[in-house]
Amino acid sequence: MPILFRGALLLALVATALPAAAQLPPLLDREVFFGDPEITNSQVSPDGQYLTFLKPYNDVLNVWVKGIDEPFDAARPLTADERPVPGYFWSEDSRYLLYVQDKGGDENYHVYTVNPSGETDPATGVPMARDLTPVDGVRAFIYSVPQRTPNEIIVGLNGRDPAWHDVYRLNLETGERELLIENTERIAGWEMDLNGNVRLALRTTNDGSTEILRVAEDLSIDSTPVYTCSVYESCGTLRYHQDGRRVYMVTNKGDRDLTELVLFDPATGEEELVERDPEGEVDFGQAIFSDATDELVLTAYTGDRTRLYPKNDAIAADLDYLRANLPEGEFSLGSSTNDERLVKVTLYRDVDPGTVYLFNRDTREIEKLYTSRPDLPTEHMASMQAIRYTARDGLEIPAYLTLPKGVEPKNLPVVINPHGGPWARDTWGYDAFAQFLANRGYAVLQPNFRASTGYGKAFLNAGNKEWGTGAMQHDITDGVQYLIDQGIADPERVGIMGGSYGGYAALAGVTFTPDLYAASVSIVGPSNLITLLESIPPYWEAGRVMFHERMGNPETEAGRAQLEAQSPLNFADRITTPLLVIQGANDPRVKQRESDQIVVALRDRNYPVQYLVAPDEGHGFRGEENRMAMFVAVEGFLAEHLGGRAQEGAPEAIEAKLIDITVDPATVVVTDPMGASDMDALPFDGSKIKSATMSYDIAFEVQGQQVALQNPSRTVAEVEHNGQPALAIVDRATLPPMMGNVTMVDSFVVARGDFKPLHRKLQQGPGSIMLTYTDSEVQGEMSQGGQSMPFTSALDLPIIADNHALEVGLSTLPLIEGYSASFATYNPMPGQQGVNTYTMTVTGMEEVTVPAGTYQTYVVEVDRADSNEDSTLYLDSETKMLVKSMSTMPAQMGGGTITAELNGSGM
């Protein structure tokens, strides 16, 4: 069945499935729900002179600016990015606007600064932006924007070690970065005081506990924790008190179930309760502090709806005034001027995404600025109601139910929409997904299943290790049964759709309850919990133990068995429900493999599946055309299988985009990382390799400086390992005097036949790493300064030897132009340990001249799947010996390139 529906077929589906369709509101254009808003995300500059906001520029959401009293027609763009700007803020002195941006959804955010008064670049129509963190593959994290040092911010960069962020002070005017702390202590977070001084460090211990450590004036870290909480509790700093001594914390340590706001003194260990939920229902929500005095002025709690609690008479009077003079709805307080004279106020409802006002606290004037979606007919939107239902074990599950307007809530098609996270929650308010589906005639249930946050640690911990076959999925299933029992749901027309964890729940729903759903849509959903855990971004390392405690530990036999039993991929043969799978190719959280492999599993049993992959997206679709194309497909898919209404056709550009991102399942190959079948197909033949000695000229260039290694050499020797034929491949080199004159030796022993790694030792001065390989794991030991630390890494797929041994191994493959193969290797470097996947392609022949002579070579491009650490190898066409290589160095080594050229051979 095609994705786009036309004419009589669509009309027949709608007429048959929805006899009460005439009572539904008008069918609204998708653009109303999912097109870019006209204006959104506005901020008042701290000096009160400007208003910034996001608005399309060159058809992409970018930052605009206008004078505070100017009309919106007078606004001018400040950014001209090709991807929507995901976030921005003002410097505290209003001189600069700062924003963050990644590449294609990879979430390696850079921080950029723009001078709103700067000269316009004719090529872009906006002032020139400066990249303050210009290192590819590095994720910047903004820790602090101190009001008292407005020309500086404190950021974290993981360039040295992808898993841990070093702390820098960043000058906004010059772009100069000053290293404050090299994070060698595995610190996951930092807390600065109001002057921008690093005062506390937060670290996750080996058992998943959180410990808070003091940072001294010399920026050394005291190893004795001042506060701890277990992996099953929550504790974290919020911000420093204005007295500079105590810090606001949110914690539920001990016998507390709900988190509370407390003031904690790191010097004495004294803890003072500030506030807990006055109604005793939910966790502490939000604290708002005065920009002028740094005092706590407002708290908020989110139960079924959000409740606000003013902390002084002035704020209480402001809230009363706003309630009396604004239309009905809930409101939130946003950015304000440094003197707090002007405050942005957003009024929102379940049927309205928001109208924004500017409140002058001195004159009591309320000025309407804009409505984010002025074309949205709120009179045709459906109300969202908070409900409760009881799970099979008696636990009460909070949820939100949106019923289509204008029809009796009986025997309706239903879409279950579990939230992502899963350690998150849904809240009351305007939800574009829910409103779009309700307009099409569906009831929408959004359950806050156990493991959702906000309802206390008992509710959160009740979801530990309960994915898939456990109670978390049961809560969702029980929500379906509740709607059926209430007569709301037609049991033959229930679908499930979600993103991230919600996508996993959609896969689990049709795997473990195959008769329950009539349609399923998985958006960036993991299908294999083991490969998901083994491919998390390196900067999530601090949370790895938490994942293991809450999901399951793949490094233990019991944990691995449990995760395998909860992985939909392993039970794909049970799926009998129509499935639409949607993925961003650059997703760093849920890698494309998670979607590829479930699509391949269904394809290989000749079961139909629809698949969309956007090459320029990550964990969700930010681009408008991609987003619109996705919902064209979703709408048609649900109409076909659940019988809801569907808009006919789409703009030409959107239809073209849908064709562009639609993937034929027959073409899908699981390569990131690849499966065992792909690995076993590689025709390595180590018997072709003979003993040899080679010498090279090796130099690396970083940030304009070139450094040559001394006496680099490579030897290949035929040896035995545990009585079996093997090859020992050894690289040696010495660092130059400026780098300590240290000798480096990397010795690899591989199986002679299939080139599987057996043993490896890396030695650099007094430090070493020893590795022993089996089919299922790598056992290692790191030694430095007389201390050693063993480690074990599980392998979920076959690997081959890497680095210099890889260069030798590739020479045994059938190197002809156009030949391509995929493979995996194990990276043992601290902070990077894990499996990396590559694709090699022979791109042609080239004559190369090096110190050893002139050679006719095969040109082999080796591309790493998840980074830009790529190499070009030149292999002699006769001997297959490496003649030359050019490689990109890892970002944590400063980027740059390393070049090797043959200068002698003893083959």
Residues that are catalytic: 500, 587, 619
Q: Evaluate the CA torsion angle 514, 1, 525, 349 in order and state its sign.
A: negative
Query: Can you tell me the distance from the alpha carbon of 200 to that of 198, in angstroms, rounded to the nearest whole number?
Result: 6
Mapped onto helix, strand or coil, the DSSP state of residue 146 is coil
Please, which residues bridge with residue 757 across strands? 750
Cα torsion through 372, 374, 380, 383, rounded to 10: 20
Tokens representing 903 are: 């200068």
Q: Are 845 and 821 in contact (CB under 8 A)?
A: no
Q: How many Cβ atoms sit within 10 Å of the Cβ of residue 411?
A: 17
Query: Angle, nearest 10°, between helix axes 652-661 and 624-642?
Result: 80
**Residue in this structure with the two tokens 């009986």, named with its chain if needed:** 410
Q: Give first-to-last CA distance, the chain, whole Å.
A: 61
DSSP for 4-29?
S--HHHHHHHHHHH-TTGGGSPP---
- Tell me which residue of 133, 25, 46 sits closest to 97, measured CA to CA: 46
DSSP helix/strand/coil, 804:
helix
| Maximum pairwise Cα distance, the chain | 89
Strands (E), 403-453: 412-416, 443-447
**β-pair type (724-734, 342-349):** unpaired
Beta bridge partners of 163: none
Rounded CA separation 654/709 (Å): 54
**What is the helix (H) or strand (E) element at residue 471, kind and residue range?**
helix 471-485
What tokens appear for 388 in the block?
């409760």
CA atoms of 82 and 140, how far apart (whole Å): 20
What the block records as the tokens of 632 is: 């064209």
Indicate the helix (H) or strand (E) that contains 503: helix 501-512
- H or E, element range at 875: strand 871-876
Among residues 354, 437, 452, 450, the alpha carbon closest in space to that of 402 is found at: 437
| Other CB atoms within 10 Å distance of the CB of residue 93 | 15
Contact 619, 105 (CB under 8 A): yes
Please say whether the beta carbons of 208 and 230 come within 8 A.
Answer: yes
Q: Which residues pair with 215 in a beta bridge?
A: 221
On the CB side of 190, how many CA atoms lie within 13 Å of its CA? 31
Residue 540: HSE in the Cβ half-sphere, 13 Å Cα cutoff: 16
What is the 3-class SS of 41-98, one letter each residue?
EEEECCCCCEEEEEEEECCEEEEEEEECCCCHHHCEECCCCCCCCCEEEECCCCCCEE
**How buried is 167 (Cβ within 10 angstroms: 0-12 exposed, 13-18 middle, 19+ buried)?**
buried
Q: Which residues pair with 168 in a beta bridge?
A: 155, 179
Q: How many angstroms separate the CA atoms of 107 and 65, rounded?
A: 26
Omega prior to 422 cis, within 30 of 0: yes
Virtual torsion, Cα 887, 889, 890, 896, nearest 10 deg:
-130
Among 364, 363, 366, 344, CA closest to 354: 344
